[in-house]
Structure 1
Amino acid sequence: MSVMSLRLPDELAATLTLLAKATGRSKSFLAVDALREYLAREAWQIEEIQKALQEADAGDFASAEDVAAVTDKWLNHAG
């Protein structure tokens, strides 16, 4: 396992300390958990953007009729 040192703003460090005490978890556990979730979300977003760019480069766009159908559906069911 790697060790990493980082500087935290005082407010963030205080919040982390309070949360660690409240949950009975270590600050390290909470920081790793938060970082794991953040990295997974960012990786997913980058992957989806790359897929969309590939589709756009291939000319795979919705037709005007497709867009109109979805717009009509939402306008008629918006309530």
Structure 2
Amino acid sequence: MRKAAAISLRIEPEIKTRLESLARVTRRSKSFLVEDALEAYLGVNEWQIRGIMEAVQEADSLGAEWTSHEDLKAAWEARRDQMA
């Protein structure tokens, strides 16, 4: 088993109280809950940033296709009118 790395951080007192309360009722350590929360946060944000970077690369590529705002708006309005 790898040795865990230690970090320190400052949090608002209310967040500390909530963390302590959740740790108590779930019978988990505060460290476990913080690591779990960080893992979830990083997973979502890394996924989002990766998607943004891929989209920017695609948009910057020579084969990128663009649609004008006016054409896109007209297509959505036509679709809306079909559904009405």
TM-score by length of 2: 0.75
Instruction: Tell which structure's C-alpha radius of gyration is larger.
Output: 2
Q: Does 1:47 align with 2:50?
A: yes
Q: How far apart in 2 are the matches of 1:33 and 1:16?
A: 12
Q: 1:61 aligns with which of 65, 70, 74?
A: 65
Which residue of structure 1 aligns with residue 22 of structure 2? 19
Q: Which runs of 5+ in 2 are unaligned?
A: none
Q: Does 1:34 align with 2:72?
A: no
Task: Check the 8 A contact 1:20/1:30 in 2, yes or no.
Answer: yes
Moved over 2 A (4+): 59-64, 66-69
Q: How far does the alpha carbon of each residue in 1:40-61 deviate from its partner, in whole angstroms, 9 at most, with x for none?
A: 1111011000011011101523
Task: Check the 8 A contact 1:55/1:61 in 2, yes or no.
Answer: no
TM-score by length of 1: 0.79
Q: How far apart in 1 are the matches of 2:10 and 2:67?
A: 50
Q: How far apart in 1 are the matches of 2:48 and 2:67?
A: 25
Higher relative contact order (CA 8 A, sep 6+): 1
Q: Which runs of 5+ in 1 are unaligned?
A: none
